[in-house]
A = this chain, B = another copy of it.
Amino acid sequence: MAATGPTSPGEAVALFTARLVPVGTERVPLEVASGRVLAEPLVADRPSPAIGVSAMDGYAVDSASFRPGVVRVAGEARIGREPVRLEPGSAVKVSTGAPVPLGADAVIKREDVAERGGTIEVAASVRVPAGVNVRRRGENLDAGARVLGAGEVIGPSRASALACFGAARPLVHRRVRVALLVTGDEVRDAADPVADWELRDSNGPALRALLGGVPWIELLPPRRCPDDPDVIRSTAEAALSAADLLLCTGGVSMGDRDFIPEVLRSLGAQVAFHRIPQRPGKPVLGALTPRNQGVLGLPGNPLSVMVTARRMAVPVAMHLAGIAREPSPPLVAIDADARGLDLWWHRLVRLSGPGRGELAESRGSGDVPSAARADGFVEVPRGRSGAGPWPFYPWGL
């Protein structure tokens, strides 16, 4: 690792996000835009509310001419209907959200009147100032105001706003194409017979579970290949013909059969970092191709793959997706022992309550059962120790 290279997982991510450019855009119908990344600001096409509406069920009157006592009810204002006109000296029945009648400027709550057939009786104690119980046109927002910026993920509240302001086909970033390349002579399918010395491929399923359901990712069909540099090279080259980001597992350590670094170099990629002082995941490698695609070489051990994918590949993919604000990880305090390590330490945690977690100690980066019982991990910075609270990364997004 070069002396100037990143010395933490956060720095490694920052290096990638400084170099990689978010993917292009497309318009999609709002019905299928959920979870996609908005690529243009949302500007209000009309005020909110678009017309003065009642904030209550009740009776609309003209505050200036209103007098307490028995008042005739002439008409009804309904939600979604053109405003009716208030006859002088009368009241109009209104429901919450209905347009305030022309000539009215106040609403008396239903609870504050006695309803008697075609009339209401209003006690002298009821105050009816101008504007009471009325939401005036534009009080939330004026037409032309900016509602949302680019780079927001379209969740429920943003889908609601897009619909409100008529953005039926929002401009979003296209999905980030992520390719997976699982290397290793030893890996077998979960469904296949397996000898004691063979391993079932758990890295493919883990990465598929992490990335496959993310709306802003298009996960390309996972590829698997043996520890053969020629096969790895042709497979990686094929994957990179379609991908914005390539994630490899295995083959990045210093062993004789760790071919990923040389294969990437032979494809013209520039290795941006190799090895980060972290546990697990120390041998992780980051590279950029001549076409400025990102490549992350994740170590092959199951726990290393899960941690480095969640901690490093996910934020890189978010940046590529055009997500403007990486969400702050929540903080979780752990029942920690006092040790500190001279590296960034990702410790398995099972959540035990709001803001708290129990350590799920792992016997090493092959200890899948411990990882499966954990809800995610905290990142304890280099040289730090104790209960935290520390940034918490749940396994899933």
- Name A residues whose Cβ lies closer than 8 Å to a Cβ of B: 30-31, 33-35, 42, 44, 46, 48-51, 53, 55, 57, 78-83, 95-97, 99, 135, 139-141, 145, 147-148, 153-169, 184-187, 189-191, 194-210, 212-213, 215, 253-257, 300-302, 306, 309-310, 327-331, 351-355, 363-364, 366-375, 389, 391, 394-396
Contact = CB atoms under 8 A, between A and B. Distances in A.
Contacts of A328: 351-355
A199 B80 CA distance: 7
B310 A156 contact: yes
Contact of A159 (B184, B206, B391): B206
Nearest to A226: B80
A157 B389 contact: no
Closest 3 CB pairs of A and B: A80-B186, A161-B372, A168-B191
Contact of A148 (B147, B148, B329, B372): B372
A164 B200 contact: yes
B80 A198 contact: yes
A163 B368 CA distance: 10
B364 A155 contact: no
A257 B78 contact: yes
Contacts of A164: 190, 200, 202, 302, 368-369
Given A96-B255, A163-B201, A79 B306 contact: no
Nearest to A185: B80
Nearest to A374: B157
A35 B213 contact: yes
Nearest to A301: B97
A330 B354 CA distance: 5
A83 B186 CA distance: 13
Contacts of A57: 253-255
5 contacts: A46-B196, A48-B367, A50-B197, A50-B199, A328-B353
A208 B159 contact: yes
Contact of A363 (B35, B79, B140, B215): B140
Contacts of A354: 328-331, 391
A207 B165 CA distance: 17
Contacts of A51: 196-197
A189 B97 CA distance: 18
B96 A253 contact: yes
Contacts of A253: 57, 96
Nearest to A367: B140
A195 B162 contact: no
Given A80-B197, A81-B197, 8 more contacts: A48-B367, A147-B369, A156-B207, A156-B306, A159-B205, A160-B205, A161-B368, A162-B205
Contact of A34 (B81, B209, B327): B209
Contact of A327 (B204, B257, B351, B368): B351
B355 A184 contact: no
A381 to B, nearest CB: 13
